[in-house]
Structure 1
């Protein structure tokens, strides 16, 4: 039943593969001629990290992906609503400050983009929110685990560091803040964890694609997006800490074990 050495090795392996695989997949994307607005192949780096961990520690990975006890519901709709609210706040702030509301027409059919974005988002979230977050949650409180995952997730987008430092800082702020939102919303959720995290992630990506021009490297849209995400994270933390204080402690979560592959 010695889980700690396995968990540390699994986390290290996951992060190594997620970073390296994303780099390789990103380099291969131009050869596939798949437009980046449809899907980014780098999004499957975390899924490959989970897959390799599952080959080495199948039982433990199954436990983690199954999620902690108990299986709570009721926050999924609020999480999915939070994504368009973040985009709306960003767009509104941009329009107020510049007098212009940005909108773009994708080059590919929107339905294709929406489906591909959901698949790509799930490729990421099976690693970040369904694997790394539960592993860290067995040792840390929900906020600390979410911030840690958010930092790793933000740094994983290494391409942002080629942008203006303010742009990069705003992106990391957005990544950590979105991780906090998802961390609180998915606390104790099991069965629907991947679809909820992937849905939130995909809605954010679609909103940014349609209404923001941060991909151009413009600093202001990213700063406003980061600020909107930070506001959402603050509200989720205020609401969740209050509920948690009345319901119980933020003790590390227990992941129900399976009987095989316990090392």
Structure 2
């Protein structure tokens, strides 16, 4: 086993150990996450990927590699259009699903008040930090470039997407976790398709983790806004969102190709 494969395997094992141990204890306690021990365990589980990425990078490649990894969080000079993609792509998916719900199913969604703008910003910031966005240090920052060193971008994306979805598994049995109220299959389909969008954005911005974190946070915020307006989670709406992300992901692969999946010819290694 070469150095790169060994570091990837170590990352996966350490990530799952940190996250599944914390979430496993949380599931056994049966306590909903809040400002309590359960909240600490939930947060620790979510930070498994970035913690593992930093530890493995430091141990296998040294401090320079770790600095390079974390420096991508500050890679903000990427062009304003990519900020638009990170924030508005999830909005396109969510708003399209809401419109289809209204036109086809007669399922209406309350129009948000101006106060929702501040709430949306708060949800995005929370989701980008304690709500999942920092996972990207591990999945897109550590794993994806190493896989793309030997695989085409699309194959690497599928590997990341599948492992990423498996990693979420314990959350479906933890009381109070968002996933505990969601059907598994559309969540998995959407997640693997969304991995294509993450790769395209990451590669096109020369490895900007900042944009990947922002996309993660804004996607969660857009979906959370719909649930807050409806006070419900509708499985058919989730399926509609998943299928819309799949259509967009297929379009990106067709337009930009499987080799690099990027507006740039050179992959971000």
Indicate how the Cα distance of structure 1 residues 72 and 184 shifts in structure 2: closer, same or farther if over 3 A, else same.
farther
The residue that corresponds to 2:156 in the other structure is 145
Alignment of 1:206-217 (within 5 A): 206-212=221-227
Counterparts of 1:218 and 1:248, CA distance in 2: 38
What is the number of equivalent residue pairs in this alignment? Answer: 243
Matched, 1:176 2:192: yes
**Runs of 5+ consecutive residues of structure 1 not aligned to the other structure:** 256-263
Aligned equivalent of 1:56, options 50, 54, 59? 59
8 Å CA contact 2:26–2:38 kept in 1: the answer is no
The residue that corresponds to 1:167 in the other structure is 183
Q: Give the Å deviation of 1:197.
A: 0.7
Alignment of 1:165-204 (within 5 A): 167-187=183-203, 189-190=205-206, 193-204=208-219
Q: Give the Å deviation of 1:25.
A: 8.2
Counterparts of 2:100 and 2:227, CA distance in 1: 11
State TM-score, norm by structure 1: 0.73
The residue that corresponds to 1:114 in the other structure is 124
Counterparts of 2:160 and 2:213, CA distance in 1: 15
Partner SS, residue 109 of structure 2: coil
Q: Give the Å deviation of 1:142.
A: 0.9
8 Å CA contact 1:147–1:179 kept in 2: the answer is yes
Indicate how the Cα distance of structure 1 residues 249 and 18 shifts in structure 2: closer, same or farther if over 3 A, else same.
farther
**Runs of 5+ consecutive residues of structure 2 not aligned to the other structure:** 174-178
Q: Give the Å deviation of 1:51.
A: 3.1
Counterparts of 1:242 and 1:45, CA distance in 2: 29
Matched, 1:16 2:16: yes
Counterparts of 2:104 and 2:154, CA distance in 1: 32
Q: Give the Å deviation of 1:31.
A: 5.3
Q: Give the Å deviation of 1:135.
A: 1.6
Q: CA RMSD in A?
A: 4.1
Indicate how the Cα distance of structure 1 residues 134 and 127 shifts in structure 2: closer, same or farther if over 3 A, else same.
same
State TM-score, norm by structure 2: 0.71
Alignment of 1:62-141 (within 5 A): 62-63=67-68, 73-74=78-79, 76-77=82-83, 79-80=85-86, 81-103=88-110, 110=119, 111-120=121-130, 121-141=132-152
